[in-house]
């Protein structure tokens, strides 16, 4: 079995190439070398969050690693045997716990027994799936595909304080293919506003803005005060689209009004509803690897991003599958099938 060589500058040149490669390496036993890690970012190389993902994957897979240090732009990763166990990892910053978890999930699903994972860091981060997204959108689909995943968030973590906690229970997967092609008929919309050490009127203003923008009943929006080491605010709109649930997340920012945060979330939700597809752009990214591990599947989504296309390309380097992305009546269908089935 040869060593796979990857260029970390492909596509957006971000951390997804590295994370997908680590997860696929654990699931398949394939070694890889990646160069020019995060070359497309202002500060290339491994940041604390990426280094934690590398070290977590190495522990789960008993791997030998070269280049596992902050700022490194080259990494060689050689897995041995994936081990089920009780794992704890701390990012040490407000870096995303959800991205670290998703890195090691393919390996834990391939292990010989159940595992638990405790992660400390950020749980609601910009440019990363929120805990609520994993719990409400991603995990239910994984369970339908035969990959058990239970999630808890005892403590929320926001930038810059971090300190959040994410707990996961994972069991070996018995993969089943899935198709998510049906156009949603009667979407159900509700929302959750999360506050930590933020004035209550911020949540009230966000609630008012969401109700007006999305024409929601009073009981369709709730405000939760959560435990967290630092201040934070997140607005999450849940879209029940029949076979799937999508979660739109907007985070409060300094010098950005509560109304603007809620309006951004509402507009993204309206755009997704107008697209009339069961799978949004963020969930599309997350589904590629599990569907490839299952050996097939399809879903209807919006026009695939460069991020999605790059992820598909990385997956095809590790697994004998072929992705097809085609436009179909104003939306797009993404299919994955065994490579031998395709010309």
Q: How far apart are CA 10 and CA 2, in angstroms?
A: 21
Q: Which residues are CB-neighbours of 165 under 8 A, at least 6 positions away?
A: 97, 118, 119, 120, 123, 153, 154, 155, 157
In this predicted structure, what is the pLDDT of residue 92?
86
Cα–Cα distance measured from residue 197 to residue 201, given in angstroms and rounded to the nearest whole number: 12
Q: For tokens 């159940």, what's the residue?
A: 114
Q: How confident is the model at residue 342 (pLDDT cuts 50, 70, 90)?
A: very low
The domain 188-273 having CATH identifier 3.30.365.10: the answer here is no
What is the CATH code for 1-82? 3.30.110.150
The reported pLDDT for the residue numbered 343 is 42
Q: State the average pLDDT over residues 3-11.
A: 91
Name the pTM for this structure.
0.94
pLDDT-derived band at 93 (thresholds 50, 70, 90) equals confident
Question: H-helix or E-strand containing 153?
Answer: strand 149-155
Measured from the Cβ of residue 254, the count of other Cβ atoms closer than 10 Å reads: 5
Q: Which of 39, 51, 151, 160 is nearest to 98 (CA)?
A: 151
193-204 residue pLDDT tens: 999 999 999 999
Is there a contact between 279 and 245 (Cβ–Cβ < 8 Å)?
no
Mean pLDDT (the chain, rounded): 95
Q: What is the pLDDT of residue 4?
A: 97
Q: What is the mean pLDDT of residues 112-140?
A: 96
The mean pLDDT of 159-187, rounded to a whole number, is 95
pLDDT in tens, 264-308: 999 999 999 999 999 999 899 999 999 999 999 999 999 999 989
Mean pLDDT in residue range 89-99: 92
Q: pLDDT, tens digit, for every residue of 58-67? A: 999 999 999 9
Q: Which residues are catalytic?
A: 307
Which has the closest alpha carbon to 8: 314, 304, 281? 314
Q: What is the pLDDT of residue 320?
A: 96
**Chain mean position to CA 99:** 6
The dihedral region occupied by 162, where left means phi > 0, alpha psi between -120 and 50, and beta the remainder, is left
Domain 84-176: give its CATH superfamily. Answer: RNA 3'-terminal phosphate cyclase domain (3.65.10.20)
* pLDDT at residue 332 is higher than 70: yes
Dist CA 252 CA 256 (whole Å): 7
Short-list 7, 10, 32, CA closest to 21:
32
Give the percent of the chain with pLDDT over 90.
88
pLDDT in tens, 20-54: 999 999 999 999 999 999 988 888 999 999 999 99
Token reading at 137: 């959108």
| Other Cβ atoms closer than 10 A to 99 | 23
Q: Which of 211, 224, 216, 95 is nearest to 164 (CA)?
A: 95
Closest CA to 304 of 340, 337, 328: 328
CA 108 from centre of chain: 16
- The residue-averaged pLDDT of 4-19 equals 88
Check the CA dihedral 302-307-310-316 and report its sign: negative
Pick from 138, 160, 149: nearest CA to 92: 160
pLDDT at 259: 98
């Amino acid at each position: 079995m040869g060593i796979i060589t990857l260029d970390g500058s492909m596509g957006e040149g971000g951390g997804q190439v590295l994370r997908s490669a680590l997860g696929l390496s654990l699931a398949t036993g394939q070694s890889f070398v990646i160069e020019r890690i995060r070359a497309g970012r202002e500060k290339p190389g491994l940041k604390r969050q990426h280094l934690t993902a590398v070290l977590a994957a190495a522990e789960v897979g008993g791997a030998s690693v070269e280049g596992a240090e902050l700022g490194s732009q080259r990494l060689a990763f050689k897995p041995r045997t994936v081990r089920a166990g009780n794992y704890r990892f701390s990012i040490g910053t407000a870096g995303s716990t959800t991205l670290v978890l998703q890195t090691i999930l393919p390996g834990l699903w391939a292990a010989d027994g159940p595992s638990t994972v405790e992660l400390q860091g950020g749980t609601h981060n910009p440019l990363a799936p929120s805990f609520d997204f994993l719990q409400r959108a991603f995990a239910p689909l994984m369970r339908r595909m035969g990959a058990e995943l239970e999630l808890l968030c005892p403590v929320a973590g926001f930038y810059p304080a971090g300190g959040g906690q994410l707990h996961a229970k994972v069991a070996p997967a018995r993969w089943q293919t899935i198709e998510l092609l049906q156009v949603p008929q009667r979407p159900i919309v509700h929302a959750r506003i999360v506050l930590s050490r933020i004035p209550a009127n911020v949540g009230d203003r966000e609630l008012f803005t969401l109700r007006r923008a999305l024409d929601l009943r009073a009981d369709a929006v709730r405000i939760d005060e959560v435990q967290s080491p630092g201040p934070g605010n997140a607005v999450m709109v849940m879209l029940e689209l029949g076979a799937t649930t999508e979660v739109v997340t907007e985070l409060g920012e300094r010098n950005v009004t509560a109304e603007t945060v809620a309006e951004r979330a509402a507009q993204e939700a309206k755009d997704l509803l107008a697209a009339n597809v069961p799978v949004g752009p963020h969930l599309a990214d997350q589904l590629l690897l599990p569907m490839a591990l299952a050996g097939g599947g399809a879903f209807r989504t919006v026009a695939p991003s460069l991020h999605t296309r790059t992820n598909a390309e990385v997956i095809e380097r590790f697994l004998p599958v072929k992705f097809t992305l085609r436009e179909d009546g104003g939306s797009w269908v993404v299919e994955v099938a065994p490579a031998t089935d395709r010309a």
